[in-house]
Each structure stands twice: as C-alpha cells, then as structure tokens.
C-alpha cells in the first residue's frame, strides 16, 4: 500500500520493510528456514505462489461473493444505514480491492481489469498521494495512533 498510495518505494525501502516484516514473522514463530532471504527473493516467491499455488477455497470464494454482492442485511450495521450505503459503496469498494491485487490473483478469482480500469485506478492513487499529506493528523490517523505518536514523542500530534 505504501508503494501504491504513498510513494513508489526504492529498492532500499522495500528491503528495509521486508527485514522489519521478518522480525514480526519471527515473533510469531515463523522459522527463518521458510523465509525468502531478501526482498527480490520474496517477490519471486510471492509471484510464484499467486500464479501456481493460490487456491480459492470455499471460504475465500464466500468472501469474494460477499464483497461483490453484499447481502441485503448485515447485523453489524443498523438496517436503515446499511440499506442506504450498501449499493453505492459495494461496487467501488470491490473495484478498489481488485485494483490492488496482482494480475495473477485477478485471473484466479475471475475478475477482468481493463486498461481503462487501470487508468482510473492510477488517477485515484494520484489523488490519494496528493491529498492525504495535506489532511490534518486527526483525519489521517486513528486516535490510538496519534496517542502512540504523542507517547513516544514522534510523528504528527
């Protein structure tokens, strides 16, 4: 998402992000034996997994179906609000989600992505890149994140 909506990451930034992610994986007990050695190796691994190994299981297909065709009611949202927002938000949210997927995953779930879709998605990303930095911190970050920044004396307040 950094690469898509913040800025194109340099090779050094990608490598740093990957090293930091590996620290998190280790904290959850993932063995280093299964971790690709560096960012380029991870990209190769990820691409291969998406093209050759990814399976659309029944629960995954259920999530795709739920997202593409949201149910007529949803117990976590008050019915009048859900009825009002369901149709106008479902299609753009699905389109946005598909835009962030690798092409091989789009193909696996049966979604087409046209050059026109890509053009609009690029315009949307450019808009996000231009507008988010000028928003006040209270709109860019959750209260919990702002509190964390304040606590460590870093970032926006």
CA distance 96 to 107: 16
Does pLDDT of 105 surpass 90?
yes
Range 108-128 average pLDDT = 95
146 Cβ contact list (under 8 Å, min separation 6) = 137, 138, 156, 157
The number of CA neighbours under 13 Å toward the Cβ of 90 is 18
Q: Which tops the pLDDT comparison, 103 or 93? A: 103
Residue pair 134/154 in contact (Cβ under 8 Å)? The answer is no
Query: Is 31's pLDDT higher than 80?
Result: yes
Predicted local confidence at residue 93, as pLDDT: 87
Q: Using one digit for the tens of pLDDT, what is the confidence trace for 119-143?
A: 999 999 999 999 999 999 889 999 9
155 pLDDT tier (thresholds 50, 70, 90)? confident
Token pair 């959750």: residue? 142
């Amino acid at each position: 998402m950094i690469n898509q909506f913040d800025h194109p990451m340099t090779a050094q930034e990608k490598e740093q992000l990957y090293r930091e992610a590996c620290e998190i994986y280790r904290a959850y007990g993932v063995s280093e034996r299964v971790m690709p050695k560096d960012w380029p190796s991870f990209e190769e691994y990820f691409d291969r997994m998406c093209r050759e190994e990814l399976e659309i299981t029944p629960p995954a297909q259920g999530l795709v179906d739920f997202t593409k065709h949201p149910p007529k009611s949803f117990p976590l949202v008050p019915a009048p609000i859900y009825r009002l927002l369901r149709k106008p938000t479902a299609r753009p949210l699905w389109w946005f989600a598909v835009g962030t997927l690798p092409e091989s995953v789009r193909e696996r779930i049966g979604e087409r992505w046209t050059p026109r879709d890509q053009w609009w998605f690029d315009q949307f990303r450019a808009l996000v890149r231009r507008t988010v930095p000028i928003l006040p911190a209270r709109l860019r970050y959750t209260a919990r994140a702002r509190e964390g920044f304040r606590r460590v004396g870093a970032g926006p307040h």
